[in-house]
Structure formats: structure tokens, C-alpha cells
Amino acid sequence: MTRYRLPNRGRVDHARPVRFTFDGKSYTGLAGDTLASALLANGVHLMGRSFKYHRPRGPVSTGSDEPNALVGARRGPGRFEPNTRATIQELREGLEATSQNRWPSLAFDIGSVNDHLGSLFSAGFYYKTFMWPRAFWDRVYEPVIRNAAGLGVSPTEPDADTYASRFAHTDVLIVGAGPAGLAAALAAGRSGTAVMLVDENAEPGGALLSEPSVVIDGKPAWDWLATTVAELNALPNVTVMTRTTAIGYYHQNLVGLCQRLTDHLAAPPAGAPRERLWKVRAREVVLAQGALEKPLVFDGNDRPGVMLAGAAQTYLNRYGVRVGDRPAVVTAHDSAWHIAFDLAESGTRPAVIVDVRDTVDPALTDRAHALGIETLLGRTVTGTSGRLRVKSLRVNRMENGAVGAARDIACDAVLMCGGWTPCLHLFSHTQGKIDWDAGIQAYIPGATTEAVRIAGAGRGLWGIAAALEDGAAAGALAARDAGREAEAQPHTVTADRTGSGVTLTELPTDRNPAAAKAFIDFQNDVTAKDIRLAVREGMRSIEHVKRYTTNGMATDQGKMSNVNGLMIAADALGKRAPQVGLTTFRPPYTPTTFGAFAGYRQGATFEAMRKTPIDPWAEAHGAVFEPVALWRRARYFPKPGEDMHAAVARECRATRASLGIFDASTLGKIEVVGPDAVTFLERMYTNPWAKLGVGRCRYGLLLGEDGFIRDDGVIGRLAPDRFHVTTTTGGAARVLNMMEDYLQTEWPDLQVWLTSTTEQWATVALQGPNARKLLEPFVEGLDISAGAFPHMAVAECTVSGLPARLFRVSFTGELGFEVNVPARHGRALWERLWEAGRPYDITPYGTEAMHVMRAEKGYIIVGQDTDGTLTPDDAGLGWAIGKAKPDFVGKRSLTRPDMVAKGRKQLVGLLTDDPSVVLQEGAQIVADPTQPIPMTMLGHVTSAYRSDALGRSIAMAVVADGRARDGETLHVPMPEGVIAVKVVKSTAFHDPENARLSA
């Protein structure tokens, strides 16, 4: 038994010790502990150092509002999480935890020198101090600040854990399984409606876990809790999820939940993800998140041992841990009195109860005196002492508004309560209105924008009885709105502890306030005087005060600090709190791992990698791949010892000399069918289609309505009313969407339909002088001789016994065919052609050789040689426009003044003076390389390759008035020097007469 653990108290399992380490030292806690409760049971309060001043800190809370007790938690390689809240991390066997933000040790930290320089580090310090010299920012100030500041250290190894995600749909989602949430779940659940009840804690119960003395429906609170949870679990329409934090509340009742699945397990099962992100769509939401206790703001309110009074109650009643031998209670609210009573009754009599109020309910003082606790009313607290643990409390009498004589009271813990504030974070995410309740001096939820109800302390109703009643009403109403008959069941409560209090700014002091360290935001080390300084320096909006001081911007999202900061800012501004307003809360409610957001999208399932039916063959034959849109495509097929240039040169040479084989399956394919198919294509594409015969193909150019090139591809006519349209690989989905848009919304009268067939067909391209010789024996039902099946012919036939669509097309400038067969047969066809092609030295080539060969022919690639600002004329494709057509998409734009003006960039060829130099794609082009910087840039290189066929480098570029510059020398300035290039107006570098492809 550890020194501060009470036997047989709390909900921990006293029969199950759990071993763990903190900063390398071994400790023992109990099953059911958090790391914080286990350390406190061992007498360890010092758990961390603060962000800016490196002040020693211990836990202030027991939950997700914890600003101080942040640790690193580790479970073997790749499983390290910084900034884990010790109050949330459940103890598990073998847990390795380490403190943060200290060097060389937690107890002796060099960085704490900042604490003594505190006056230098006031609000806006960084903005004011590091302004000059400017060059120092990158090299001196920022690295030093980054090194000294910050909390935990980022993990350096890849995360070894996996994460999950899940969509869910429910009638009623209840956030928070305290008394209000449980009552709501009972009322809604008994109606038969679908209910999800979620809570961020390890078990449901909320405040009931800390207040076992309350009696509900005639049962002790924990018996009632057990009965209620059992009933809910038995209802088939109710799901109860613990360790599940509602992190964000989005439109139309979509709530994001992060569920912690394995962090509490000593040995997680195989295949188990660490966390799961839920996206829950609820018809009705009940927020039963309760209220947050506020610290009191006084000098030294951050020493280890100083904590929220409610936290001490939870440590005592839920975990059986005394937070000290001689705690002192300091409060502005009745609730802390009951905590003092619980402590006294459990054998730890508080040294004193200090209340800032002049009078309290006499029942409280009577009870305190009966328990032998000294009470001091109408006091202020002006300081604490103790380096690594609080040793004493300085208390002053208040006389007629003035601070009177001081008295030091020895203690080893200070339990403070500055009242309670409803937890408005999730409600705030919905942009719901927040109102100031002058009666309880707190912000409460106002008008809603969603189908949501707030129940219990979350709307300022204090006490278990009120929470149960309000929760039951909210649950019943939610179920009714979801279409069920529901009743709010009554609950009887005895021994409830309601109370009231006052809302304050920082406590008055007799000491120099400028020297006080009265903390508001513990994690970001923001003090009361920082807020006042920000106001003095001109910050008027609470949002500006927040950003200037960083109040509320730490990982606890201002759960403890926002209202205290607001009250002090309002006081400094001479306004009332509601005139100043609250800062906006944004998701996530608590820090959430990147893993949870990524979910399954990591590793091999990061995103879909589309592969063609022929991809496995390419992989088996050593292909190097490249991503093209979501596809992976074989880029080249290196032989042993070959680099990319050697492989590509060989592939091009073999194709032009004899025969290349290429997987063109990724090309987009759209089947356009219907009596109005021709009319539709006439309107969509620039080219004329009416006279294209069945069995013929044509290059099609697609513009946007703005006149710029969007896509291109070969279109074949299979029947009078049926076209096989091809698109670029990356443009397939976009083109189909654009076509559907026009068809559905502009020309719904047309009788034509579009079907994507990209993946119906596998496409094998055979290119080279021997292409026909190889293919001919495989083809049945079609004469593919040059005369019978000329360039740009298409036919349906049988190839190697497979139903096929055969195109005679060429993107290389060689005699070429593209064979489309049903996708399941693609690999088989490829392998048969490959085997039969050996006598022709058949060579598989990849996208790189394809790019080189098409550039040798001057064929553009949309998206590489065009960039969304090129017209057909700019790209040298004016010939593709059907001049006689009255209209097509983009036609009107081609005569806009800017489109016909001089100076437009035009696609041209570039030949470097030095044929061995290959230009960089994207390099800028200038006329005079000696002109001063910034130079006048004429255009840029769009494609550049080493051409084996031409024995030199070639390039394509867009250049202002490019075609008029034919023969002109321009320059490409590069870091290594200026490259001289000659402009050629035609990009057809190789076989400009097209003799080869017509063979």
C-alpha cells in the first residue's frame, strides 16, 4: 500500500497492482488508476514544467482540462506520444512515462532561470523583443526560442500503430455519461429509439464517480450507476461508448468522436487499431458535458500541490488517493466545502477552509466546525511558498475592501475553487448563441442552430437532482422529436450537494501586483498581469487579448483559463463580461492524434493506387513505375546496368526500328451512344464529326467554354449512333463530368447517353514498322492491310480469339495499332503478343519513351504542354477547328479581344545550340540574357528530352509570338549559365511527312 492510498476506497481494484515507470523510476499503482492518480498515491505531485517559465507543476485536474501534467507515454519502438495528459492516461502494466520540458532533470531544470527573468517575458514579449536586426530572426532568435520553448518532443520514428474510422447514424446522440447524460439515455433508450451515449472517461458516471454519498432513487449513487448502466447495456437500441471524446460538432448534427481503443491495455490484441474516429450523424443531440471548475487567481496558484478542489474530491473518492496530509481549501463557491468534509471524514482533516465571501450558509460552517476544520471567511489569498511542492498559504483578512494583515498557514496541498462554468465548447462549434446568466454569473448556451439540447450543469443547473431531471427531460424530448413516445422518468435524490458562489477576477493582494505570478493559463504561463498589460497596450477585442497573451491557446483550449481571462480583461476594460464576450471555441475539443484523422489512410491504403490488368506483367519484368493521376504506370523497363536514359533510348530505338509494345489501358474511354451522338460531339469538340464515316477515327480537341484546351483524344465511330471516345489518362473523370453537365443541363433534349468504359477495356498498343506483321495472324474477321485498314481506321473484330476493338492509331509516328480487349483478358493478350513478337525483337516501352517519341513528332500532352491558358491556335492546333461549325463549346471565346491579340504565347520547338544539352522543363526563356533582373520572360520550356532518333536534344516551349520568331535565338538562363536556343516554328522534329505512320 502506497502512502497516500486509502484501503478499500475508490473504484480502483486494490487486488490488482500495476507496475509502471516515471522518468525511469519504478512505481506501483492499481488497476483503474490514471497515471496522475497513481503518481499522487505515491506522493508524487511534480509531473512537469511549464512552457515559458519552466515552473515546476503538478496536476490541477483529473480530466481533459489538465494543463500541467503532460508527459511522454511510450510503448516500445514507434509508439511514443508526447503531451499525454497524465490525468487521462489510464495506468497499464509496463507503461513508460517521462516528464517533459526540463533539462537535465524534472527537479533541477536549467530552463527555470526564465522564471527569475519573468518580467522580461510578459505579454507580447516576442513581438516586442525580437524585431531587429531582421536577419537575426531566422538564424538566432527563432532557433533559440524554439529550442527553449515547447512541450513534448515530437516522435522521430514512424507511428507503429494503426487507426480506424467509422460512420454511424443514430436517432439520439448523448455526449457525456454523467447524471444528466445517463438520465437522458434512460428516457430516450426506453422509448426504443436508437441512442448512442458517449463519454471520454474510462467508465460512465461523470460526477457520480466522485460523489458516492449521493442517494438516487433510494440507492447509493454507485449502485444506481451500476443498475442504470446495466439497463442501458441491455437495451438493444442503446450503445454506450467510453474512452470516446466528442471532438467536434459540425453541420446538421454530425459529431466527430475519437475513441481510444488500446492505450489502456497492457497487451492489445493483434490487428487492433489504437484509436477510431467516428463520424456520427444524429437526428437529435443532447449535450450533457457538465461544467468545468475554475481555478482561483492568486500569486503562486500554480505550485505542485495546488489543484482544483473538485480534483481532490475525485482523487479521493474515485481513486482512493489523498492528495496530501494537510490540505488547505480556498474557495469562492460552496462546492469546495463538501470536499473538505469528505477529506475530513476519510481521515485527512484540512488545515483550513478559506472562503473569499463574507458569509456562507451557516450549515457549512457548522459542519466544518463539527469536523474540527478552521474556517476563515472574507479573506483573500496573496501567496504560496514551496519550490517543488506547496508548503504554505498566505491568507489576508479583507477589511472594507482593503487587504489587511497576512497570516501564513502551513499545508501540503491547496484545493481551490473559483466556481464553475458550463462546458460550452461543442455547443460553440455549432455557432450557437452564448448568453451571460447574471444570476449564476456564467455563460450558458442560448439560441441553437442545430437539433440539440443541453442538459444539466452544461446549462448552469448545479446539483445531481437538477442534472437528472433536466437530462431525463432532454432525453425524452429528443426521443419524441425522433418520432417516439417517450416519458421523462422522475428521479428522487437525497444528500445532494448543490450550492452557489461568486465569480471573481484575480484575488486582491497587499503585495506588489506587478511581481505577482497569479496564473490564468497554466500551460502557456499567462498571468493576470499579462491580461491587464495587453489591455493597457491597446487590445480591446477579447480575441486580440487572447492572441497577444496566448491565453487559452494551449492544448487545454482554454478550458480552465477562458472565463478567468475574460473576467480580468472585462475589468481592465471597465466593461461587464457580456459586453466583452467569449472567444470562439473550435474543434477539436481535446488534442487529437493525426493518426485518428488519417484513419485507414496510411501505408498501403494511403490512397487508391490504380493498376491496369497488364501491371503485374510489368512488375514481373522489372518496370520502374510513375504515378499518373491515381494510376501507376510503367515508366521504363531497365535491363541490368541501364539507367533511365539508356533504357528509354533503347526502347525508342527498338520501337522505331522494329516493334514496341505499350500498355495504354489507362486512357480514358467514354462510349457515346444514341441518335444524337453526332450532334452532341459536334457541340462538345472543336472538330467536325458529321462526315466522319463508320470505321474511321479522328483526333478530337476539347475546350472549356473559356476557349482554352481542356483535353484531347482519338474518337472512333463504331456505328452511326455509337462513338468510342478516348481522353487523357488524368482527364477521364473530368471530361465525363463536363460532358454530363452539358448534356443534362444545357441540351437535355438530345437523345444520347455517356458510359465510362475506361476499365471495361485493356488497351495494348503495338507500334513500329513490324506492328502489322505481328498482329495480322491474330486478327479474325478483318483485313488490316494498309489499303483496307488505313491510318485512323477502327473496327470491331476478333484478336487472338477475344472480342476486340482495333484502332489503327499512332502516338509515336510509327505504324501503330491499339487493341482493346475486355479487361480480364488484357494480360493474356499482352503475353501472347509478347511471345509472338520475339522474332521482331518486340520491346516493351514505358511512358517515358512514349513521351519522347510523341515529342519527336511534336504531339502535345494536355496538361504538360498546355496549362489551361492555351487556345487551339496557341498550341498550333488551329487545324482541328471545324471552321464551318456554327458553335461548339469554347468557340465564342476564341474571338474575344485577348484571344486574338498579338503577343500570345505559342507552342514552338526549341533546339539548343549545343545538341547535347537537354533543357529543364519549366525553365524560363528570355530574349536578352544580359538585361537587368527581373528579366522580361517570354515563356517557358514545356517538354525536353534527349532524342535518340534525332541524335540530339529536343524541346517544346510556349513563347510569346513564338511562331514569328522562327529561327530566332533566345536564351534560357539557368544557375549553371545561360543556354542559347533556336526557335523552330514546327514541333514536328521527326518524319514531318508522316511517311512512317501511313505505312
Residue 602 Cβ, how far from another protein at the closest point, in Å?
10
List 752, 853, 877, 959, residue binding another protein (CB under 8 A): 752
Among 77, 236, 372, 640, binds another protein (CB under 8 A): 236
824-863 residues in contact with another protein (CB under 8 A) are: 824
CB nearer to another protein: pick between 122 and 448: 448
Nearest residue to 355 (alpha-carbon basis) of 470, 468, 504, 464 = 504
Cell reading at 234: 441491455
Burial of 471 (0-12, 13-18, 19+ CB in 10 A): buried
For residue 777, cis peptide bond before it (omega within 30 degrees of 0): no
> C-beta of 55: minimal distance to another protein in Å?
34
- What DSSP line would sit under 897-946, residue for residue? HHHHSTT-EEEEEEEESSTTPPPPTT-EEBS-TTSPSSPPP-EEEEEEEE
* Residues in 725-744 that interact with another protein by CB under 8 A: 737, 740-742, 744
- All three cell numbers of 719: 456505328
Question: Would you give the binding string for another protein spanning residues 675-694, x where CB under 8 A is met?
Answer: x-------------------
Residue where the block lists cell 505481328:
774
Name residues contacting another protein, limited to 654-673 (CB under 8 A).
Answer: 671, 673
Rule CB under 8 A: is residue 579 a binding residue for another protein?
A: no
Candidate ranges 211-219, 232-240, 378-386, 934-942; the one touching another protein (CB under 8 A): 232-240
Pattern 31-50, another protein, x by CB under 8 A: xx------------------
Out of 679, 756, 920, 924, the only residue in the binding site for another protein (CB under 8 A) is 756
CA 826 to CA 828: how far, in whole Å? 6
Site for another protein in 2-31 (CB under 8 A): 13, 16, 31
How many CB atoms are located within 10 Å of the residue 797 CB? 18
Dist. CA 390–CA 411, nearest whole Å: 7
Contact status: 759 vs another protein (CB under 8 A)? yes
Q: Which of residues 185-204 bind another protein (CB under 8 A)?
A: 202-203
Query: Closest distance between another protein and the C-beta of residue 159, in Å?
Result: 15
Stretch touching another protein by CB under 8 A, among 150-158, 439-447, 606-614, 929-937: 606-614
Question: Using the rule CB under 8 A, is 270 a contact of another protein?
Answer: yes
Stretch that binds another protein, among 47-55, 321-329, 820-828, 967-975 (CB under 8 A): 820-828
Of 674 and 695, nearer to another protein (C-beta) is: 674
Among 213, 500, 757, 924, contact with another protein (rule: CB under 8 A) = 757
Q: Determine if 252 is a binding residue for another protein (CB under 8 A).
A: yes
Position 272 contacts another protein (CB under 8 A): yes
Instruction: Figure out which of the listed residues 512, 745, 916, 930 binds another protein, where binding follows CB under 8 A.
Output: 745
Q: By CB under 8 A, tell whether 996 contacts another protein.
A: no
Euclidean distance between CA atoms 291 and 731, whole angstroms: 53
Cis peptide before 844, with omega less than 30 degrees from 0? no
- Residue 869 in contact with another protein, rule: CB under 8 A: no
Give the span between the Cα atoms of 724 and 670, in whole angstroms.
6
**C-beta of 273 vs 660, nearer to another protein:** 273
Residues 56-115 touching another protein, rule: CB under 8 A, are: 90
- Smallest separation (angstroms) from another protein to the CB of 745: 5
Question: From the list 68, 89, 228, 262, which residue makes contact with another protein (rule: CB under 8 A)?
Answer: 262
- Tell which one of 238, 482, 623, 652 touches another protein (CB under 8 A): 238
Write phi, then psi, for 542 (nearest 5 degrees).
-65, -30
Q: For residue 196, what is the enclosing H or E element?
A: strand 195-198
Look up residue 357 and give its DSSP letter. Answer: S
**Stretch of residues binding another protein (CB under 8 A), selected from 45-53, 380-388, 522-530, 893-901:** 893-901
Q: Which of 101, 245, 551, 612 is in the footprint of another protein by CB under 8 A?
A: 612
- Out of 292, 823, 833, 870, the only residue in the binding site for another protein (CB under 8 A) is 823
Residue 14 Cβ, how far from another protein at the closest point, in Å? Answer: 13
Q: 953-977 as b/e, with b when 16 or more CB fall inside 10 Å? A: bbbbbbbbebbebeebebbbbeeee
Count of positions on this chain that bind another protein (CB under 8 A): 83
Examine residue 891 and tell whether it contacts another protein (CB under 8 A): yes
Q: What are phi and psi of 436, to 5 degrees?
A: -95, 125
* Separation CA 354–CA 412 (nearest Å): 15
822 binds another protein (CB under 8 A): yes
User: Which listed range, 80-88, 308-316, 511-519, 747-755, lies at the site for another protein (CB under 8 A)?
Assistant: 747-755
- Written as one letter, the residue type at 414 is V
Q: CA-based angle 598:428:415, to the nearest 5?
A: 95
Using CA atoms, how far apart are residues 377 and 90, in angstroms rounded to an integer?
38
Q: Which of 266, 363, 515, 788 binds another protein (CB under 8 A)?
A: 266
Instruction: Give the footprint of another protein on residues 150-179 (CB under 8 A).
Output: 162, 164-169
Tell me which of 119, 541, 760, 931 binds another protein, using CB under 8 A. Answer: 760
Q: Which residue has the cell 533511365?
A: 644
Distance, in Å, from the CA atom of 105 to the CA atom of 23, rounded to the nearest integer, reads 9
Binds another protein by CB under 8 A, chosen from 579, 605, 994, 998: 605
Residue 167 CB, nearest approach to another protein (Å): 5
User: Between the CA of residue 131 and those of 128, 144, 536, 874, what are the distances in Å?
Assistant: 6, 15, 21, 49
Residue from 128, 251, 575, 576 touching another protein (CB under 8 A): that is: 251
Within 121-140, the residues that bind another protein by CB under 8 A are: none
User: Does 627 sit behind a cis peptide bond, omega within 30 degrees of 0 on the bond before it?
Assistant: no
- Residues 274-293 binding another protein (CB under 8 A) are 279, 281
What residues from 418 to 457 belong to the interface with another protein (CB under 8 A)?
A: 431, 449
586 binds another protein (CB under 8 A): no
Between residue 766 and residue 795, which ones bind another protein under the rule CB under 8 A?
Answer: none
Tell me the closest approach of the beta carbon of residue 247 to another protein, in angstroms: 14
**250 binding another protein? (CB under 8 A):** yes
Q: Is 608 in the site for another protein (CB under 8 A)?
A: yes
Our finding on whether 500 is near another protein (CB under 8 A) is no
Which runs of E-coded beta strand occur in 119-194?
163-175
Q: How far is the CB of 807 from another protein (least distance, A)?
A: 18
Distance CA 413, CA 392 (A): 8
Q: Exposure string (b/e) for 202-218, b if CB count within 10 Å is 16 or more?
A: bbbbbbbbbbbbbbbee
Q: How many residues does the chain have?
A: 999
Long-range contacts of 803-811 (CB under 8 A, 24+ apart): 805/716, 805/718, 805/724, 805/761, 806/779, 806/782, 807/697, 807/714, 807/716, 808/697, 808/784, 809/697, 809/714, 810/767, 810/997, 811/765, 811/767, 811/850, 811/853, 811/854, 811/857, 811/859
Q: Which of 706, 961, 968, 991 binds another protein (CB under 8 A)?
A: 706
- Cα 428 to Cα 446, 478, 588: the distances in Å are 10, 20, 12
**Burial (CB count <10 Å: 0-12, 13-18, 19+), residue 897:** exposed
* 825 versus 854: smaller Cβ distance to another protein: 825
Q: Is residue 609 within the footprint of another protein (CB under 8 A)?
A: yes
Parallel, antiparallel, or unpaired: how do β-strands 493-494 and 452-454 relate?
unpaired
Reading the block at residue 257, the C-alpha cell is 468522436
DSSP character at residue 746: I
457-496 binders of another protein (CB under 8 A)? none
Stretch that binds another protein, among 130-138, 219-227, 756-764, 962-970 (CB under 8 A): 756-764
Dist. CA 672–CA 336, nearest whole Å? 76
Comparing CB distances to another protein, the nearer of 579 and 755 is 755
